[in-house]
Copies of this chain bind each other. A is one copy, B any other.
């Protein structure tokens, strides 16, 4: 098949040098391109919020470079790990990796970590247009700055069901000054040391810390260009497609463009039946496209405002500037930045979740019934005085040998072979408004083996944490699939009454979905992608503390595994090259 080869790479570690090589094959058969990227991942000092912190960069950047491709293209990322003594793995969030489960980038699940000095080649097809993310998927490394966006456009022959003049991307994040090592050591400590609320909220990698709060041996400079606010320059009267993604480590966000409505048109790569919001609730791992018209008074600029919701905010509003051309980009808007909705107005956020449906004419109907129902109780627990998160009282740990290799090669001793539980104890009597009835959980790396091509319902059930009167929002992300979002509800899920209310007509498909405080979220997926797939809370510290499960399906159908994913656990063996 003729291909268009697009290659961008960095020639040396000391000078960031990009060049673009386009081999154009003038043929009507041209229908897929290969985008070849060379990335060097390393630690560098960066000041995204004016405060200097050792950050993980890709080719010198955090956020990393945006990957642009067209539906059907192949993306190749040759990732060189230049982190001195630390391994790495990068997940392509929202890309289903059909036929390439070893490229999912989930350390311990689909690959061994990439060692310092090693270069790993990720290669996958972006089979569906939409807005996606990539990020580290190893330890709590994502929080150190290793993330970026993936923008997949529709094929040339396809016209999208909405129109706009310009396409812009906005990546939202929260940011800590402590290293991920310090954060992780605290979470592992007895007594438990929580990471706390973020120091800053970043819009496209830019925030503003109050440098007067920095210590004398710390570098903080409010005039550092690295922390000048993100500016979205708009031409009055034009319509912008904003691709908004959240890669936050902890925070649920509310994002608002002062004085401007947003029309939600895409979520996680699927078209949404358009509806208008004043501000957007977005959870870690989610992506949206919204249409915004520059229809306000063009004589001034406006705030882009990022606020924390669901947790009591202790971080200043993150701000950017909507700059109406030809005003000066740094002209400050006259009013104070919007502070968002009430942080604890759960109902407000559930309402938005419920409003997101598949766009008419684009809905993919779910299978009408499921073959299996897995109910997952989300609780905070204790194990040997360690504070952990657990699912059905099992706190997840990763094995040393990746599941994909262990299952494909029959290494049965590589992980706990008992099945993970399909539901929780006393599921019809559990009081979700109380602290966990059984506060003790167990560590396990057991998994869910799913029959290939079967249909699975997952009911996520929220509950009270260890602390009284507290239930958090957990954004759950599924690798390797999109799922249908069948419903949200409050309280304990009722298998009789609630199931009949499932939306089987026009449910949106997503890869990440919020589980609201004291609520439940029901979703359905087809286990049609051979591989091993993580399903986990996308809050970095929650996942680190055990909040995840693994689904394995059709592993016997997976092709020959590349040796590049091996080298750890039981896959550390030497053979001469054939």
Which residues of the partner chain B approach A141 to less than 8 Å between Cβ atoms? Answer: 85
With both chains docked as a complex, state the minimum distance between the C-beta of A469 and any C-beta of chain B, in angstroms: 29
Of the stretches A152-160, A183-191, A517-525, the one at the interface is A183-191
Give A405's nearest chain B residue, CB to CB: B574
Which residues of the partner chain B approach A140 to less than 8 Å between Cβ atoms? Answer: 84-85
**Of the residues B181, B217, B561, B575, contact of A84 by C-beta under 8 Å:** B181
Which residues of the partner chain B approach A138 to less than 8 Å between Cβ atoms? Answer: 85
The yes or no answer to A316 lying at the interface (CB within 8 A) is no
Report yes or no: B573 in contact with A386, Cβ–Cβ below 8 A: no
Report yes or no: B181 in contact with A409, Cβ–Cβ below 8 A: no
Query: Do most interface residues of chain A lie in helix, strand or loop, or is the interface mixed?
Result: loop
The yes or no answer to A298 lying at the interface (CB within 8 A) is no
With both chains docked as a complex, state the minimum distance between the C-beta of A78 and any C-beta of chain B, in angstroms: 14
Report yes or no: B564 in contact with A54, Cβ–Cβ below 8 A: no
A1-29 interface with B by 8 A CB criterion: 12, 14-15
The yes or no answer to A218 lying at the interface (CB within 8 A) is yes
Which residues of the partner chain B approach A568 to less than 8 Å between Cβ atoms? Answer: 115, 117-118, 567
Considering only CB atoms and an 8 Å cut-off, how many residues of chain A contact the other chain? 63
Number of copies: 2
Proximity bits, A358-389, B CB within 8 Å = 1, else 0: 00000000000000000000000000111000
Which residues of the partner chain B approach A189 to less than 8 Å between Cβ atoms? Answer: 44-45
The yes or no answer to A261 lying at the interface (CB within 8 A) is no
Which residues of the partner chain B approach A45 to less than 8 Å between Cβ atoms? Answer: 182, 185-186, 189
Give A12's nearest chain B residue, CB to CB: B384
Give A84's nearest chain B residue, CB to CB: B139
* A571 to B573 alpha-carbon distance, docked (Å): 7
Report yes or no: A117 in contact with B569, Cβ–Cβ below 8 A: yes
Which residues of the partner chain B approach A87 to less than 8 Å between Cβ atoms? Answer: 85-87, 115-116
**Of the residues B15, B85, B181, B574, contact of A43 by C-beta under 8 Å:** B181
* A94 to B493 alpha-carbon distance, docked (Å): 65
**Of the residues B185, B190, B215, B399, contact of A217 by C-beta under 8 Å:** B215
The yes or no answer to A305 lying at the interface (CB within 8 A) is no
Which residues of the partner chain B approach A217 to less than 8 Å between Cβ atoms? Answer: 177, 213, 215
Which residues of the partner chain B approach A139 to less than 8 Å between Cβ atoms? Answer: 84-85, 116
Proximity bits, A164-199, B CB within 8 Å = 1, else 0: 000000000000010111101110111000000000
Report yes or no: B112 in contact with A115, Cβ–Cβ below 8 A: yes
With both chains docked as a complex, state the minimum distance between the C-beta of A177 and any C-beta of chain B, in angstroms: 8
The yes or no answer to A351 lying at the interface (CB within 8 A) is no
Known: A54-B181, A384-B14. A574 touches B571 (CB 8 A): yes
The yes or no answer to A563 lying at the interface (CB within 8 A) is yes
Report yes or no: A43 in contact with B576, Cβ–Cβ below 8 A: no
Report yes or no: B576 in contact with A409, Cβ–Cβ below 8 A: yes
Residues of A within 8 A of B (CB): 12, 14-15, 42-45, 54, 84-88, 112-113, 115-118, 138-141, 177, 179-182, 184-186, 188-190, 213-218, 384-386, 398-400, 405, 409, 561, 563-564, 566-577
Give 16 A-B contacts (CB < 8 Å), ordered by A residue: A85-B139, A85-B141, A86-B87, A86-B181, A117-B398, A117-B400, A117-B568, A179-B181, A181-B181, A213-B217, A405-B574, A566-B567, A566-B574, A567-B568, A567-B572, A573-B577
13 additional A-B residue pairs with CB within 8 Å, beyond A84-B184, A85-B139, A570-B577: A43-B181, A54-B182, A84-B181, A85-B87, A85-B140, A87-B115, A117-B568, A177-B217, A179-B179, A215-B217, A566-B574, A572-B572, A573-B574
> Which 5 pairs, one residue from A and one from B, show the smallest C-beta to C-beta distance?
A215-B215, A567-B572, A85-B139, A567-B567, A84-B139
